[in-house]
Amino acid sequence: MFKSVLIAAVALVAAPAFAQGAPESFNGPFVGIQGGWQQDRQKLETGSALTSGTLKSDGVTYGGQVGYDFRLSPSTVLGAEVSLTGRTGETTLNDGFDSYELRQGRTVAATARLGFLATQDGLLYARGGYANARYTLKDAPFEASEDRDGYTVGAGYEQMLGRNASARIEYNYSDFGKDKFSTVGLPNDTAELNYRRHAVTAGLNFRF
């Protein structure tokens, strides 16, 4: 008799939960990790084509993110995310007399994304927002660091792997502004040094 009453009670409690079905994908908080390829570009532009050029430096990027997704409609997702990443490698600069190392340090980004469900558990999205990157110029034994504000935009695809996990791949372009200065020996000429970045990363999110 007791077993029959217990089974009936469990059934009554479980019935509403089964009736609600599985929770909506891409709706709620998440925390995750990411890694991939990153290329930093420093482009020097002056009035003289002989002194213009672009330096490229490839490295491995790694880090993590925390965010929240909100289902605006059955097929639309609005999300917010904060990420912290670093990267390996450095750029070697040579002015003909000395060599310098330009290291790309940590990057903090706060972005929003808007996505549309391509399938029930697959999200296509675009991302954009604020980013701050640290650059360190080293000429042993001296070094100086600078934090540069900028923006980042990108696009990606995220796939639910189960009820509490999802995987994504995305591309991002970042611009951290430029420095203006007079060129050596040409006081009437100016130069601009631009700081730009391309990155392709894969990530894994754990959802709550």
Asked if residue 9 has pLDDT above 50, the reply is no
Give the mean model confidence (pLDDT) for residues 90-115. 83
pLDDT tens per residue across span 184-208: 555 556 678 889 999 999 999 999 9
Judge if pTM exceeds 0.85: no
On the question of pLDDT at 142 being above 50, the answer is yes
Asked if residue 22 has pLDDT above 90, the reply is: no
Give tens-digit pLDDT for 120-138. Answer: 999 999 999 999 999 888 8
For the chain, the three-class secondary structure string (H helix, E strand, C coil) is CHHHHHHHHHHHHHHHHHHHCCCCCCCEEEEEEEEEEEEEEEEEEECCHHHCEEEEEEEEEEEEEEEEEEEEECCEEEEEEEEEEEECCEEEEECCCCEEEEEEEEEEEEEEEEEEEEECCEEEEEEEEEEEEEEEEEECCEEEEEEEEEEEEEEEEEEECCCCEEEEEEEEEEEEEEEEEEECCEEEEEEEEEEEEEEEEEEEEEEC
Q: Which domains does the chain have, with CATH numbers?
A: 26-207 (2.40.160.20)
